[in-house]
Amino acid sequence: MLQAPQSGDDIVTEQEQEWALETLAVRTGHRRTAEQEHSEPIFATSSFVFSSAAEAAARFSGDSQGNIYSRFTNPTVRTFEERLAALEGGECCVATASGMSAILATCMGLLQHGDHIVSSRSVFGSTTMLFNKYLARFGIATDYAILTDLDDWRQRIRPNTRMLFIETPSNPLIEIGDIRALADLAHAHDCLLVVDNCFCTPVLQRPLELGADIVIHSATKYLDGQGRAVGGAVVGDRKRVGEEVFGVLRTAGPTMSPFAAWIFLKGLETLSLRMQAHASGAQRLAEWLEAQPSVARVYYPGLANHPQHALAKRQQTLPGGIVAFDVHGGRDAAWRVIDRTRMLSITANLGDTKTTITHPATTTHARLTPEQRADARIGEGLLRVAVGLEAFDDIRDDLVRGLAGA
């Protein structure tokens, strides 16, 4: 069986096992070439050559490990994969063209016709679309549970359920799911727990240590952190990720390019510093918003009144960089807040150095019916801010301008 050309034994040396996350993020995965480069090189090559016919045959059969073709083996991509695997504490990582293709490849690699998924209701819109519109066509059905309600999950599991899928914190209300409890529930029913760790990154939360089986990333967000490229990754064990998910990548080809991999692996080097700065800005902003008369409610797990404040403290090192809040006055007021700001970027993206502001009800969650939105408590007055790395006072001053319109 041809495997992803990496293994836990190779990627984490004895020295690396003792390194802290910040050190792993800077140094893991780069094997210096004969050129003695200091920064990681971009291997812009589609294929690799063999020293003999016999070596070519051995590579193709899997008897010898090494580069073959950049759809599935590229040294720059591998450096990113090994680095992210080390940060998440996983045996293996497979990089993908986008976060969505990471989810698709995971489902294609680990599920089959007749299987059933229970997903959190509060997942990325395209994830819901992938499950309902595309996986359903191939005989994989999905039910949706309330992220924070374990009984609801329990009741939705069927004999053919093979995967529980969550994002935590959720978007846009920043609710927290209990990874350890859901992992226990999954394993009691012969299911895998898959966690989309996009909002937290391994700096704030390491789902594999809490019992999850697979971690998904949209590298597009915080891993790059500077809004430059689209990419994704799947992290887990050698069999499921290194063979099954890798097999989908090798065959179907939603691969990360070496150029994108280079951007992401340089992004990882500053990830810890950036996540701390995003989280400290978000905490200050949440506390400031709570004191504003035009704000009805603030959703941020770093606030003591957040329903899962204690769980967030246990499960995450920091509450994260995203804050949501309701303004009085519904959609008109919320839109006025957005339109009166001058610096914040009006975009649905997140995980950027630049602070972004979004009206979920008419953008990211516009495809839901009004009843579904009401069910999910995504009101017309709800705004989401993904706090960037600008000076806090400038972000606050822009929201002062915005809230004057509410």
Ligand X SMILES: *Cc1c(COP(=O)(O)O)cnc(C)c1O
The answer to whether the beta carbons of residues 116 and 277 sit under 8 Å apart is no
Smallest distance, Å, CB 167 to ligand X? 5
Smallest distance, Å, CB 40 to ligand X? 22
DSSP type of residue 378: -
Smallest distance, Å, CB 97 to ligand X? 8
> What are the percentages of helix, strand and coil residues in the chain, rounded to 5?
45, 15, 40
Smallest distance, Å, CB 307 to ligand X? 20
Among 29, 75, 99, 109, binds ligand X (CB under 6 A): 99
Distance in angstroms (rounded) separating the CA atoms of residues 405 and 393:
19
Structure tokens at 108: 């294609």
Residue 373 contacts ligand X per CB under 6 A: no
Smallest distance, Å, CB 375 to ligand X? 20
Smallest distance, Å, CB 96 to ligand X? 9
Residues forming a β-bridge with 236: 92
With CA atoms as reference, report the closest residue to 258 among 80, 50, 12, 112: 80
The answer to whether the beta carbons of residues 122 and 143 sit under 8 Å apart is no
Residue 167 contacts ligand X per CB under 6 A: yes
The answer to whether the beta carbons of residues 9 and 65 sit under 8 Å apart is no
Residue 84 contacts ligand X per CB under 6 A: no
Structure tokens at 321: 């960089």
Among 128, 220, 255, 315, binds ligand X (CB under 6 A): 220
- How many chain residues touch ligand X (CB under 6 A)? 12
Residues forming a β-bridge with 367: none
Among 67, 73, 98, 356, binds ligand X (CB under 6 A): 98
- By beta-carbon proximity to ligand X, the closer residue of 74 and 220 is 220
Distance in angstroms (rounded) separating the CA atoms of residues 187 and 197:
19
Mark the segment that binds ligand X (CB under 6 A) among 40-48, 54-62, 92-100, 362-370. Answer: 92-100
Among 2, 181, 230, 277, binds ligand X (CB under 6 A): 230
Smallest distance, Å, CB 360 to ligand X? 12
- By beta-carbon proximity to ligand X, the closer residue of 234 and 361 is 234
CA dihedral 329, 335, 340, 346 (to 10 degrees): 140
DSSP type of residue 208: G
Mark the segment that binds ligand X (CB under 6 A) among 50-58, 96-104, 178-186, 205-213. Answer: 96-104
Among 4, 94, 95, 100, binds ligand X (CB under 6 A): 100
φ, ψ of residue 160 to 5 degrees: the values are -95, 10
Among 72, 80, 124, 246, binds ligand X (CB under 6 A): 124
Mark the segment that binds ligand X (CB under 6 A) among 69-77, 218-226, 286-294, 367-375. Answer: 218-226
> What residues numbered 7-66 form the site for ligand X, per CB under 6 A?
none
Residue 232 contacts ligand X per CB under 6 A: yes
The answer to whether the beta carbons of residues 156 and 189 sit under 8 Å apart is no
Among 196, 213, 326, 380, binds ligand X (CB under 6 A): 196
- By beta-carbon proximity to ligand X, the closer residue of 165 and 300 is 165
Residue 222 contacts ligand X per CB under 6 A: no
Among 221, 306, 359, 365, binds ligand X (CB under 6 A): 221
Residue that is written with structure tokens 């499921």 in the block: 240
Smallest distance, Å, CB 279 to ligand X? 17
The answer to whether the beta carbons of residues 192 and 186 sit under 8 Å apart is yes
- By beta-carbon proximity to ligand X, the closer residue of 130 and 208 is 130
The answer to whether the beta carbons of residues 109 and 250 sit under 8 Å apart is no
Among 12, 87, 198, 322, binds ligand X (CB under 6 A): 198
DSSP per residue, 72-88: T--HHHHHHHHHHHHHH
H-assigned helices in 228-368: 246-252, 258-269, 271-290, 309-315, 330-340
Residue that is written with structure tokens 């504490």 in the block: 89
Among 218, 308, 316, 355, binds ligand X (CB under 6 A): 218
The answer to whether the beta carbons of residues 83 and 28 sit under 8 Å apart is yes
- By beta-carbon proximity to ligand X, the closer residue of 248 and 327 is 248
The answer to whether the beta carbons of residues 91 and 238 sit under 8 Å apart is yes
Residues of this chain that interact with ligand X (CB under 6 A) are 98-100, 124, 167, 196, 198, 218, 220-221, 230, 232
